[in-house]
Amino acid sequence: MAATSGLEILEPSIFERGAPGRCGMDLPDPGRDARPAIPGSLLRKRPAALPEVSEVEVVRHFTRLSRRNFGVDLGFYPLGSCTMKYNPKACEEAASLPGFTGVHPLFPAALTQGALSVMWALEEALREVTGMAAVSLAPAAGAHGEWTGLRMIRAALRRRGENRTRILVPDTAHGTNPASSSLCGFQAVEVKSSEAGLLDPEAVARAMDGDVAALMVTNPNTLGLFERDLPRIAALVHEKGGFVYGDGANLNALLGKVRPASLGLDVIQLNLHKTFSTPHGGGGPGAGPVGAAPALEPFLPVPRVVRGEDGSLSLSEDFPDSIGRIRSFHGQFLVLVRALAYIRGLGAAGLRRVAEVAVLNANYVRRRLEGTYHLPYPGPCMHEVVFSDRRQARAGVHTMDIAKRLMDHGFHPPTVYFPLIVSGALMIEPTETEDKATLDEFIAAMLEIAREAEEDPGRLHQAPHRTSVSRADEVLAARKPVLTWPERGESPS
């Protein structure tokens, strides 16, 4: 076993369990005729070296491992920019109704009116939330939505006979923004934020010329601050013939308060797996619908849900200016069901309350911790707050140490070292689903860690102390990952 990565599981693997001849269940031999006819050339020459284990061993092994996972159903998960909120189980229930799980994308429209009406109603709700003219539910993730929106911008520019090559991206942007820009064939150009951590109209005016296709902007930005000059900035971009792309991955703070379209955005993607009740962080699936203002609506991907004169719904590809299909079939349907259940369950007043409590919670954490942790951009925040390790760093304690120590207190660490413009960033997003008692426990842990940083910094360098896996050597784990389990008796390479 590699003794140095810190990632080793301190108990036998499933391959080390069991004994020859053990098995979970003995099925009767179905007889020669019932066996699938696999050509002899494809049959194994030697039996696979599979573990021979009983059913109870397997169940206990994987249940034990699963209990080492941390999830939002287990505790506070303030991972900034990720909106790890608790998702109502009623939304899961809706998504598991057999009428939804059993529907096939190749069924004719006559048999899928229910599924199509979910899509129609969700598009309508997201139009209301964003103020956009039309919505496509097709993109499968936030970054996929960004890429879709940028392709729509490129198509609109080509239609005008223009071949602009650059996208302005603020230095606070999520990494997917420059990545989507380059995947779309644009060059991302960084725009520096002002001292207040906001996009500066003058900086945008200086960077804006006839070669800039769009400004990509996140509001609230990743410092958790509201871009209050956005309407003026959008006007500047439009004046020079550019578009404004809105990264709406984290819409918690704006729900029912601000319609992004009213700030001058031409296209926006929403992450249903952050704001709208699909659990986020398990690697998918997600959904990143895009909303478009009238100027970009004709370019939305197909198929689109349309309503015929007789009131029936169908999917149509009859949109000549569309950028075309962007994926197989019609979006991550069950994620769409959850989002609609969530929106209908809360109603307009409930969505507004989400925004109010999300912002209140972040500001409560900010006020309670700003005397102890350095707050690089002072003043009220939106749904998340970004601290830095500057004060603790004087004692040699850094963001990583603070994050690891939080695990000993039973909390998932916040997002660390992002946004990049804050050195040693700790980006905390409490979300609206946490109560004051939980926030108080988290705050107490953060204050305790700050005290420990002064009194016993060494203890923080070794943290976490109480988890089943100790601190990993992340460099070694990345450079020399151990990805296979060795045969018995062999040591991993």
Ligand X SMILES: *Cc1c(COP(=O)(O)O)cnc(C)c1O
Query: Is 143 an interacting residue with respect to ligand X (CB under 6 A)?
Result: yes
Site string for ligand X, 38-77 (x = CB under 6 A): ----------------------------------------
C-beta of 220 vs 256, nearer to ligand X: 220
Which of 130, 271, 322, 332 binds ligand X (CB under 6 A)? It is 271
Which of 5, 51, 81, 411 binds ligand X (CB under 6 A)? It is 81
Distance CA 383, CA 224 (A): 6
Residue pair 148/301 in contact (Cβ under 8 Å)? The answer is yes
Which of 130, 193, 218, 322 binds ligand X (CB under 6 A)? It is 218
Find all residues with CB under 8 Å of 415, minimum gap 6, and list them: 79, 80, 81, 82, 425, 426, 427, 428, 429
Which of 136, 219, 250, 431 binds ligand X (CB under 6 A)? It is 250
Distance CA 100, CA 119 (A): 12
Query: Is 176 an interacting residue with respect to ligand X (CB under 6 A)?
Result: yes
C-beta of 268 vs 343, nearer to ligand X: 268
How many residues belong to the site for ligand X (CB under 6 A)?
14
C-beta of 185 vs 282, nearer to ligand X: 282
C-beta of 80 vs 264, nearer to ligand X: 80
Distance CA 147, CA 139 (A): 9
- Shortest distance, position 255 Cβ to ligand X, whole Å: 16
- Shortest distance, position 80 Cβ to ligand X, whole Å: 9
Stretch that binds ligand X, among 13-21, 137-145, 194-202, 340-348 (CB under 6 A): 137-145
Query: Is 178 an interacting residue with respect to ligand X (CB under 6 A)?
Result: no
Q: Which of residues 285-344 bind ligand X (CB under 6 A)?
A: 286, 288
Query: Is 172 an interacting residue with respect to ligand X (CB under 6 A)?
Result: no
Query: Is 429 an interacting residue with respect to ligand X (CB under 6 A)?
Result: no
Q: Tell me the C-alpha to C-alpha distance, in Å, between residue 19 and each of 1, 52, 299, 488.
A: 21, 6, 61, 12
Residue pair 153/267 in contact (Cβ under 8 Å)? The answer is yes
- Spatial strand order of the sheet with 425-428 comes to 385-388, 425-428, 415-416
Distance CA 49, CA 487 (A): 8
Residue pair 218/317 in contact (Cβ under 8 Å)? The answer is no
Query: Is 277 an interacting residue with respect to ligand X (CB under 6 A)?
Result: no
Query: Is 181 an interacting residue with respect to ligand X (CB under 6 A)?
Result: no
DSSP state of 37: -
Query: Is 247 an interacting residue with respect to ligand X (CB under 6 A)?
Result: yes
Q: Quick check: bond before 39 cis, omega within 30? A: no
Helices and strands per DSSP (H, E), number in the chain: 15, 12
Residue pair 247/269 in contact (Cβ under 8 Å)? The answer is yes
Which of 119, 230, 249, 334 binds ligand X (CB under 6 A)? It is 249
Query: Is 78 an interacting residue with respect to ligand X (CB under 6 A)?
Result: no
Q: Which parts of this chain interact with ligand X (CB under 6 A)?
A: 81, 141-143, 174, 176, 218, 222, 247, 249-250, 271, 286, 288
